[in-house]
Chain A
Amino acid sequence: MDVSEYMPMFLAEAREHLQELNLAVVRIEETPDDQETVNEIFRIAHSMKGMSATMGFERMAALTHKMEDVFELLRQRSGGLPREAIDVLLKCLDTLEATVDAIEETGAEDLDPTELIEQLTGLVRERTTEQEVHRSGGPAPVPPPEVVAERAGGRRIVRVVVELTEDCAMPSVRAYMVLNALGEQGTVLSSAPAIEKVDAFEGRTIEAWLAAEAHDEEIVEAAQRIADVTGAQVAEISQETLDAAAEQQREHPPAAASGPGERQGAAAAGAAAHNGHKGTTSVRVDASRLDQLMHYMGELVVHRTHVESLASQAEVPGLQQAMADLARASQALQAMVMQVRMIPVEAVFLRFPRLVRDLSAKLGKQVELKLVGQDTELDRTVVDALGDPLVHLVRNGLDHGLETPEERLAAGKPETGLLEISAAHAGGNVVISVRDDGRGIDPEKVAAKAVEKGIITPEQAESIDQARAAELLFAPGFSTAERTSDISGRGVGMDAVRTVIRELGGDVTFVSEKGVGTTAQIRLPLTLAIMSALLVEVDGLPYAIPLERVQRTVRLEDHVVRSVAGSRMLVMREEVYPLLDGGEALGRGLPASDTDHAVIVTSGDRTMAIAVSKLVGQRELVTRPLPSDVSDSAAVSGGAVLSSGEIALIVDCDALTTTTGLIAA
């Protein structure tokens, strides 16, 4: 069978499965008795194995199969897996991830799973010995309801456990044969696997409850005649046990009882997978097609606005109504396209449980990770680009923010530090925060470092405060690490994080209190591509100011402009705002020749006024990225093509803050 056409789907699904497994394994380490997660692990591992085998990646399938055996231990016993087991499992997942990458590049699985399989086998063996001790010492197995219902039938009720050899090739077939053979010795009341689910059986142990007509020895013999069976045990269930079980099941209705009847190994997992997938019909679409769709949508909006402006000059009966209808349909389509592009931020968050687990172990720190607002939706491009900056902030928080358990105890804090990654909507923005309750930013330390690096002068260091110190962390070339650790000191600093976020049209800031903690806050626009803006002109050149940032506009002749320490200030009745010249701040740095109006905008935490020549009006603009090297010295973050064909540059209101911030510093 030629499977190459399924390759992209295989790669995408395999990656998805591996990420889910990573997450589930870390979760099961924290809460070992979370039955739902255990079932999820089985479901994913099982389909992972099936997928790999279908695509002909035998070694991947073999490794996943062996991992399932280890997962099986989770089902057999509460209390979870020891740390070494989790470590080996995670190592397997890493190997599988690398294999998927290799398959994408070369088409072949570049994997030697022997060593990992050995380690896994070792784990299973150790645990199985333990397991038996546990079983014999534990409470007697509880008969499932259908067995209990049979107790009045007068026949002997026995529990039969049949073991298959470890290298049994077709456990489902053997299980079928075993159950059939047992059926000849009596009536099989209940079994694990259940007879109708035997197809998906992958385990090595078959358990059956039998209303026996034969003697124990005959039952054992019947079972042992089947190939691959290593042993069979038969135990009669006493009337008292059955009565007790009946009593218990009256109190707890059978549906809630978690007897052996429900533990059906991979069979149950397979069934769960079927149930879990009902109802949702979704289609996998190549991301580039979505981008294409967005692009065409953008073009449509540009053309529509053009036609609208032409239509306003024409006198054709019914044209206005037709234009209004077109506008409505196009806006609805636009909204739908935007919505299709939205995905939950969870896609990025999912990598953090694993990352935090590994890093905190490496750093010898105890960390509790909290993820909040994972279902917050963001434009796909934003979510994709968000990964690296967030990883950097999380590493930074773990490495520099949080203290070691000893330090924390000495500071009177709980040993375990808190790291919270959250996402939430705030107006037209999405705010993503990485918060730790660590040592916080020490302004003096930061200042000393900045002086040493030549970023600020010693005089400036004298008057440093918390906010300015936090800002210094984003200065190019700054890094607070005394030594370059392999955790966060990777040559890329916070300035790189800020650059990426700004390219997305957002901003990132630190808020910190010494000794209490640090919060890195990323603010991003909800949708990138289409926005409402106030169109203005500076010396005949159009600029667009995002409408959500515009507080109001004023005529400059109605207000007083004063010079304060070389900067112009716009004096309003209730407030005084710094007044920037549109030509200087947005253009080639020359003052605009005539400025009649001022637009008062929100810029970070501050309010500023920009002097412009002309107010044109509100427009809906399709934003396009600017080429990377053309606008580095002005506070603009993108462009938009107007209906006239002219290009308006989009004002980056937050970049206005930085310029004046530096002047003030």
Chain B
Amino acid sequence: MSTESTRQLVVFSLGEEEYALPITRVHEIIRWTEPRSVASDEPWVRGVISLRGKIVPVYDLAARLGLAAERPEHAKIVIVETAADMAGVVVDDVEEVLTVEEEQLDSVPAAGDPAIEAIAKIDQRLVVLLDPVGLFGGAGLDAEQLAEVAA
């Protein structure tokens, strides 16, 4: 966990809810392109896209979190950076970059979902901070990355 007192989060919407990823993990945000479907055992693997010649997996965040799978037309793909690779995450829209105090983050051990790192309470809003490693079972992240996140 970071020792700094503030963190910057990229906040995006998914249905009625708001989610966030640490900005240090977000490489870029691209417009929706239909991923090339692949045969995966995981239902939330939407397929692969080409990002400047590199083949990057795209994960359906809504399916992963058990939300409705309908995506609006202006859906975006957030490219999450990992030490060895990158992965795309499908979201409805990207809203803002938010700076939060560490104390605004409540860890949610009871949730039992490794995908969720904490919940940020900002005024009346609840923003779910996602853990990119727990989110996709470490998919696409290597051990070094895991160690770095755990540190």
Contact = CB atoms under 8 A, between A and B. Distances in A.
Q: Do A and B come from one complex?
A: yes
Interface of A: 295, 298-299, 302, 541, 586-589, 622, 624-634, 636, 639, 641, 645-647, 649
A626 B47 CA distance: 10
Contacts of A299: 52-53
Interface in B20-75: 36-42, 45, 47-50, 52-57
Contacts of B98: none
18 contacts: A586-B39, A588-B39, A624-B53, A626-B38, A626-B55, A627-B57, A628-B140, A629-B42, A630-B47, A631-B39, A633-B39, A634-B38, A639-B48, A639-B55, A641-B50, A641-B55, A646-B36, A647-B50
A630 B49 CA distance: 12
B19 to A, nearest CB: 22
The 9 closest A-B pairs by CB, nearest first: A634-B39, A627-B57, A647-B36, A641-B50, A639-B55, A624-B55, A629-B139, A630-B38, A633-B39
B17 interface: no
Given A624-B55, A627-B56, A628-B139, A541 B37 contact: yes
Given A587-B37, A636-B38, A629 B57 contact: yes
A589 B54 CA distance: 25
A586 B54 CA distance: 21
A203 B52 CA distance: 61
Interface of B: 36-42, 45, 47-50, 52-57, 85, 87, 136, 139-140
B121 to A, nearest CB: 34
Contact of B36 (A302, A541, A586, A625): A541
A630 B53 contact: no
Contacts of A589: 39
B145 to A, nearest CB: 13
Contacts of B55: 624-627, 639, 641, 647
A307 to B, nearest CB: 15
Contacts of B56: 627
Contacts of A302: 53
Contact of B54 (A587, A624, A631, A646): A624
Contacts of B85: 627
Contacts of B87: 627
B18 to A, nearest CB: 27
B86 to A, nearest CB: 9
B20 to A, nearest CB: 24
Contacts of B42: 629
A631 B40 contact: yes
A633 B41 contact: yes
Contacts of B45: 629-630
